[in-house]
A = this chain, B = another copy of it.
């Protein structure tokens, strides 16, 4: 689960970008395979931090037509530097998040149904069980609604800014997900693949949370010491989950 990389030299750059295209393309396809995508609602990106380049899905292209060559490369201002296609319309959001969350190297955005239900209801997802605690260290937060001005000017960039604002007091590695009010979830992680795994976990957790609330509207949050135990056994310095 943890990325292991050799130190990067200038000469490795082109090859790394090629590998990143492949990795990001695969991550986009994995998002579909996981059932999180309806039509073309969803996109995954990855960043090459050494070169300051982001690889992202082209906008509105059917998933069956995606291949690594069709991925678009943009710089840290969101300008396309490689690729014939227009990048995802959400590119500016991704770029703001990469500028803000320096440990993040992959971002996924979906309209997956259960997470989106919470985003539309503008309610955080409380931590009700260990499935949640295995991935998210506490309630998954929801942003405020953008103002009319924020929507009128640089809407996608401002979407990234309200996410950054909401996460300001949180560690984005321990809380790799947010719900944009009235919109849907963004997730992230140390790789594009990790951001997709977090999108899958978020959807599973959201579905379970809705059902739990139907069974008991006052179901209690998971005890903090169980939350912490599960989070740490998987992600802490003495983690013993995985290989």
B-binding residues in A (CB < 8 A) = 1, 38-39, 41, 58-61, 85-86, 89, 111, 113-114, 116-123, 128-131, 134, 145-146, 148, 151-152, 155, 182-184, 197, 200-201, 204, 207-216, 219-220, 222-223, 225-226, 229, 233, 240-243
Q: What is the bound-complex CA distance between A146 and B225, given in angstroms?
A: 10
Q: Which residues of B contact A225 (CB under 8 A)?
A: 148, 151-152
Give Cα A155 to B131, complex, Å.
16
Name the B residues within 8 Å of A114 (CB-CB).
Answer: 211
Report whether A241 and B182 are in contact in the complex, using a CB–CB cutoff of 8 Å: no
Contact A226 B38, beta carbon cutoff 8 Å: no
Residues from chain B with a CB closer than 8 A to the CB of A215 are 117-118, 121, 123, 210, 213
In the assembled complex, 12 residue pairs joining A and B whose CB atoms fall closer than 8 Å, in A order, are A58-B243, A59-B242, A61-B243, A113-B204, A116-B208, A120-B129, A120-B219, A122-B219, A123-B215, A131-B184, A210-B214, A213-B215
Q: How far is the CA of A215 from the CA of B125 in the complex (A)?
A: 11
**Interface contact B120-A208, CB-CB below 8 Å:** yes
Q: How far is the CA of A183 from the CA of B38 in the complex (A)?
A: 24
Measured between beta carbons, the chain B residues less than 8 angstroms from A209 are 120
Report whether B122 and A39 are in contact in the complex, using a CB–CB cutoff of 8 Å: no
Number of copies: 4
- From the candidates B134, B211, B223, name the one contacting A210 in the complex (CB within 8 A): B211
Check B113 against A229 for contact (C-beta < 8 Å): no
Given known A60-B1, A182-B223, A200-B39, contact A211–B113 (CB-CB < 8 A): yes
CB neighbours (8 Å) of A242 from chain B are 59-60, 86
